[in-house]
Amino acid sequence: MVQLAEHFESKDRGTHSEWARQQRWFIKARQDTERREKVQDRLEDDLAALAAEVIMATQAQLAALEVKLDSYDEATVTALMENQELLDVVNARIEAMLNQAYVMEDGRRVFRTEDGQQVFDEHGTEVGATELDPQMIDSSLPTWEMFSSDIEQQRALETQRTEILDYQEQLDAARDQIAEGEISEADLEALDADLLDAMPDAVRSYAGIEAHAPTPGSTSQFNAPTALEPIPNLIAENSILPPSPF
């Protein structure tokens, strides 16, 4: 009988312990749920307060930026047209010099330096004296300095053109953004500032905006002239090309 009583007493303690464990689990689960609900409520309150503070841009503000975009677009197109004109001139000069260049037996077109000491091919690779005596090249032919200078101008103009085209895409994206009409006043101001900061100097000159200030230690960038100078006898056979107008 004693053993039987001890058995039931031990079983009762085990049952009570399991019941107590389940009660603690339910209490903890309820507390966790209440805590999450409070966090969610605070988050929703914060979002509602933030939304109430957002001021949407007015139609007048949107229209004002559209006027700027029209002006920027016009300046961008003008800059692209001038860039193309300058590229056409430089490309024609380069082609004319290549046509007049000394041609080696292997077909390479080469230019002698002004001091008559070195020779370079059209890709900028030096040709040693063992391959070609610099004195074999007539001094009346275009020099390496003339050719390499125009190559540098060509690369600068191509880089400039890429910058202008990228900016034109940015203007198109901005126009699409404000066309939706759902933009905050703060975002509209940031968009306006970004467009102004990203504007290339080639476009700024036509938009009536001052060029970017050079950064410390930076090299001077290519600045395209505002007008083309005529180049006489550009493609005349065996003519001597005048110095680059850029």
Among 32, 53, 74, the domain-final residue is: 53
* Residues 43 and 160 placed together within one structural domain of the fold: no
pLDDT tens track for 142-165:
999 999 999 999 999 999 999 999
Is the CB of residue 69 less than 8 Å from the CB of residue 193?
A: no
* pLDDT at residue 214 in the model: 78
Most confident by average pLDDT, 11-20, 35-44, 51-60, 168-177: 168-177
The secondary structure of residue 56, as a DSSP letter, is: B
Does 178 lie in the same domain as 84?
yes
Whether residue 194 has pLDDT greater than 80: yes
pLDDT tens for 196-222 read 999 999 999 999 999 888 766 554 445
67 and 35 assigned to the same domain = no
- Are 49 and 63 in the same domain? no
Q: Which residue's entry shows tokens 């390479």?
A: 108
Cβ-Cβ contacts under 8 Å for 242 (sequence gap 6 or more):
231, 232, 233
166 assigned to some structural domain: yes
Count of structural domains, the chain: 2
Q: Are strands 119-121 and 109-112 parallel, antiparallel or unpaired?
A: antiparallel
The whole-number pLDDT of residue 221 equals 47
C-alpha to C-alpha distances, 69 to 184, 201, 203, 244, nearest whole angstrom: 18, 16, 12, 35
- pTM of the prediction? 0.68
Is 8 domain-assigned? yes
Q: What is the mean pLDDT of residues 178-204?
A: 94
Q: Is 188 found in the same domain as 93?
A: yes
Q: How far, in whole angstroms, is CA 176 from its chain's centroid?
A: 19
Q: Which residue has the higher pLDDT, 212 or 246?
A: 212
Which pLDDT does position 141 carry in this prediction?
98
Domain residue limits at 27: 1-53
The 10s digit of each residue's pLDDT in 24-65 is 777 777 777 777 776 776 676 555 545 546 899 999 999 999
235 pLDDT more than 90: no
Give the tens place of pLDDT for each residue, 59-102.
999 999 999 999 999 999 999 999 999 999 999 999 999 999 99
